[in-house]
Amino acid sequence: MYKTAMKTTQLGQTGLEITRVGFGAWAIGGGGWEFGWGPQDDEESIAAIHYALGQGVNWIDTAAAYGFGRSERIVGRALEGLVERPYVFTKASLLEGPDRKVLHSLKRDSILREAAGSIERLGVDAIDLYQIHWPIPAEDIQEGWAALAELKEQGIVRHIGVSNFDAEQLRVIGQIAPVETLQPQYSLIEREAEREILPFAEREGIGVIVYSPMGSGMLAGGMTRERIAGMAEDDWRKRDQRFTEPQLSRNLALVERLKEVADRYDTTPGAVAVAWTLLNPAVDGAIVGFRRPDQVDPILPAAGLELTDGDVAEIEGSTR
């Protein structure tokens, strides 16, 4: 089914051979909830998934929380009838609360219910990678991780990992069952993961897929003050510090540096930003959110783009 041979790598010790860029399904959950991205057309979302798969992408990362089931349902619809389906990764621990705000639960019974709901919405016989979305409440991470280990033993999920955990939390839950994967936020704007968590993952052989490698769209190349001002009121980014001053001016200057490098490679600032995250030896893959088919081609070259030390120095400027 895949038309293009994309660069792949092993995801930690899972045995999964993943393309270096994966389809992120946060934004296709649409608006109307605490971390929504504004209005989204479901048919356009399905078309984007099909197009990305056709270009060689072989994994999708979603979560029950994205639109509180909407993203998983859309992914499930996109998978219907495929002869060869991509790997499907999803997450648990965020529940729908009052006013469509997020509630956190790492209780065993809650996670088991969430897994059953995700399986049904996705229409799969097992989830390829099941992840704890956030280590909240911190005192329940062991109970939550034990529940994921139980699901793996039952064959309901094939591999287990976490998102947004720190190194000490990984040590704690690793005593219950091996942590196979980690999903941290990592980009030229958000570099905290470099301090401890990425080196820890590399030492421990934990697979890493990073989210928001383009800073939630800030580094894609098309972001302007006017565009931010015109964002839908239910687009969470409108209130995010990366999209407001004083960070906004600094981030737009970073995009200009990305453009300079992108022009040399005849590619896009977004592709360069993603390629930068893939340079880190701990990082196996980057999750990129596509909302429309036309957003795919400008970013996919990142999977094979090899930046030089000079490129990196130019891009980073004063971001360290």
* Residues 28, 36: Cα–Cα separation, whole Å: 9
The residues that are catalytic are 66
Contact 51, 293 (CB under 8 A): yes
Q: Coil, strand or helix: which one is 283?
A: coil
Tokens found for residue 275: 């390629």
Contact 122, 72 (CB under 8 A): yes
Percent helix, percent strand, percent coil in the chain, to nearest 5: 40, 15, 40
Contact 145, 173 (CB under 8 A): yes
The secondary element (H helix, E strand) that includes residue 161 is strand 160-163
Helix boundaries (H) for the chain: 42-54, 70-79, 108-122, 141-154, 167-174, 197-204, 225-229, 247-264, 269-278, 309-316
Q: Coil, strand or helix: which one is 148?
A: helix
Beta bridge partner(s), residue 210: 286
Q: Name 114's Cβ contacts closer than 8 Å, sequence gap at least 6.
A: 64, 92, 93, 95
Query: Do you find a cis peptide bond into 281, omega within 30 degrees of 0?
Result: no
* Residues 204, 182: Cα–Cα separation, whole Å: 11
Q: Name 73's Cβ contacts closer than 8 Å, sequence gap at least 6.
A: 121
Instruction: Write down the residue that tokens 């981030």 correspond to.
Output: 251
